[in-house]
Structure 1
Amino acid sequence: MPRFVTVGLDGSAESRAAAEWAAREANLRGLPLKLVHVWEPVPGAMAEAPLLGDETHEHWTGRIPRDAAGGLRRRHPGLDVTTEQVSGGPAEVLAGLTQDTELLVLGTRGLGGIGGFMVGSVSLAVVAHAMRPVVLVRAGEQAADEHETDPAGVPSAAAPFRPVVLGLDTDSPDDTVIAFAFEEAARRATSVHVVHGWSVPSYYTYSLAAGVDLRDELSGQQAAALTEVLRPWRQKYPSVEVVEESRFGSAGDLLAEASREASLVVVGRRFRRNPLGTHIGSVTHAVMHHAVVPVAVVPHD
């Protein structure tokens, strides 16, 4: 099966930022980059007009991947860049492409003065039905954004990469999601910052009523569970530093906070056999909307 990093292009600033991120990722992985533009055929009545017909529309929209490819080849010499134009519904086509790619990268809109993403219906649908990991990238991100700052506080591409943040549920950890985060950190020669948010069980209320505070005990148990889950991964990736963070609170909020010092946030999504709907989980949904760096959503059983 051909191995690519694939990016969906629509000509927007968001998709151009996604293409730039995807090019850097393809270089890190040693894989070719494929730029895919999905165009929707013009409705029948409009297609009869020579200036608005399908052939004219396809010709002009075909410039989007061609122009983007030219710029990427100049900025990333040696990177194998190909283009493809596909007709159909963007969500369905892009989700289908994940069967033949290592990674799909899409652009999302920033929320202006509020840090985070505005995840549109197409991106949500693709993430919900993709068979392979999908990375969401906001407009305006540059290569230096993934790196630590220099002594003057300015991000520098010559500095080490910032950590890869991994959201982990110790009750049902998945090897696919964990491995993705560790591989990304290993490629960047950086650390993995593992974030685990937990809440108190129902019996905690009754213990407080009885005058027994179990907070410290629960905190210790949760931290120990996180350490145990990560033990084999520390052994498998001895060169990757692991920072563990187990805190009481919303996992989505904790991951959004951790994203401010990260190069990438990795979260999971369970496969859904139902083709309808966009069920991606509350934590993943929150991270997609509020993290301030690229977010990788990794599907798993």
Structure 2
Amino acid sequence: MNTIQPGSVVVAADGSPESDRAVLWAVEEAHLERRPLAVVTVVPDADGAANHAAVELARRWRPGVEVQGAAIEGTPRRLLPEISAGAHLLVLGSRGRGRISSAVLGSVSAKISSRASCPVVVCRPGPVGRVRHGILVCVDGTRDSAPAIEFAFRQASLRDLPLTVVNAAGGDDSPAELVLAESLAGFRELFPEVFVSRQTETDFTAESSSRSSARWHMVVVGRATEGAARPTAGPSVTEVVEHAHTYVAVVPARSSERPVVVGTNDPSLSVPRP
């Protein structure tokens, strides 16, 4: 684990078609963000064959990205959250059906997403060729929502996609709605190229945890972390990760002791929130 460069995009690979899909998404993300990619295979016997194949796949897809591989002895449920502490982003396949017994399977992805220190993208299967409508993010109008909003804006900007924001708590006149409007204004200034719309009547739980989610490129949901002011509203991480029909990003809230920032996920580039 100490060979993984801090700030890397990290992807779990187990030799299955599902993890290959995650590797391709992760190397594209590393390319767009100009970051190194770490391909990690967590196995009981440190067999590196599947890891080597995944590394070669990533290098063929994006030759200009710096790619490193690591086969680590252990279990994904325990080791991947530890690895996430130094990662910029952790990417998981939605199911593992490869020969490696420690493959990342269904609910394991949800467990890892709920414990990771960095944002986690779970590459859920979805219909091929469907026209999609960009990025969908659920927020609750509190400052704990800032990381999820920031991540959604960044993904929309990187991929030239529209962004739709759903407020999971409070009506048009609520304090939460005022905080949300304030937050969005700051992010719009930093990402003026992103087209943003807001939906006040959408049932985010139904939209993100059913076949309806297939109409989105990605669904972004925040989760509370230790020290957060309060749990984020909206559906549970497990509900979305296990039932969505598209890519799911799970973004941890920052501790209430840390300053709220907007901008990029890189602290050296982020700026204080007005």
Give TM-score scaled by structure 2 length: 0.75
Indicate which of 66, 79, 82 corresponds to 2:65.
79
Change (3 A) 1:282 1:164: closer
Confirm or deny: 8 A CA contact 1:13 1:139 kept in the other structure.
no
* Bigger-Rg structure (1/2): 1
| Aligned with residue 90 of structure 1, among 72, 76, 100 | 76
2:252: which partner in 1? 299
Query: After superposition, what is the alpha-carbon deviation per residue over 1:248-274, rounded to whole angstroms, capped at 9, x for unaligned?
Result: 64x31133466333221111111148x
**Corresponding residue number in structure 1 for 2:189:** 235
Match of 2:236 among 278, 283, 297: 283
Letter in 2 for 1:99: A
**1:198, distance to aligned residue in structure 2 (A):** 5.1
Aligned Cα RMSD in Å?
Answer: 3.0
**1:74 and 1:195, CA in 2 relative to 1: closer, same or farther beyond 3 A?**
same
Give the 5 Å matches for 1:183-198.
183-197=154-168
CA distance in 1, matches of 2:156, 2:234: 24
Of 181-190 and 69-78, the range deviating more from structure 2: 69-78
Q: Answer yes or no: is 1:245 the counterpart of 2:199.
A: yes
1:106 pairs with 2:60: no
- Structure 1 residues 144-175: Cα deviation after superposition (integer angstroms, max 9, x where no partner): x6xx85xxxxxxxxxxx851111111256521
In structure 2, runs of 5+ residues without a counterpart are: 97-103, 228-232, 256-274
SS in 2 for 1:174: helix
- Change in Cα spacing, 1:290 to 1:140, as seen in structure 2 (3 Å) is closer
Alpha-carbon separation, structure 2, partners of 1:172 and 1:253: 24
Q: What stretches of structure 1 of length at least 5 have no aligned partner? A: 42-57, 111-117, 150-160, 200-217, 274-279
Aligned residues between the structures: 236
Q: Which residue matches 1:120?
A: 106
Matched-pair contact (CA < 8 Å) for 2:124–2:246: yes
Could you tell me which amino acid in structure 2 is paired with residue 133 of structure 1?
P
Identity rate of aligned residues, in percent?
33
Q: Which deviates more, 284-293 or 24-33?
A: 284-293
For 1:86 and 1:281, the matched residues in 2 are separated by: 35
- Return the match for 2:20 from 16, 23, 36: 16
Q: Is the 1:17–1:139 Cα contact (8 Å) retained in structure 2?
A: no
Given the alignment of the two structures, is residue 221 of structure 1 paired with residue 225 of structure 2, yes or no? no
1:179 equivalenced with 2:133 (yes/no): no
Find the partner of 2:8 among 4, 11, 16.
4
Per-residue CA deviations over 1:125-159 (Å, capped at 9, x if unaligned) read 211211101110135787xx6xx85xxxxxxxxxx
Change in Cα spacing, 1:240 to 1:299, as seen in structure 2 (3 Å) is: same
SS in 2 for 1:109: coil
| Structure 2 residue aligned with 1:271 | 225
| TM-aligned CA distance change 1:16 to 1:265, over 3 Å | same
Tell me the secondary structure at the aligned position of residue 121 of structure 2: strand
What amino acid does structure 1 have at the position aligned with 2:184?
L
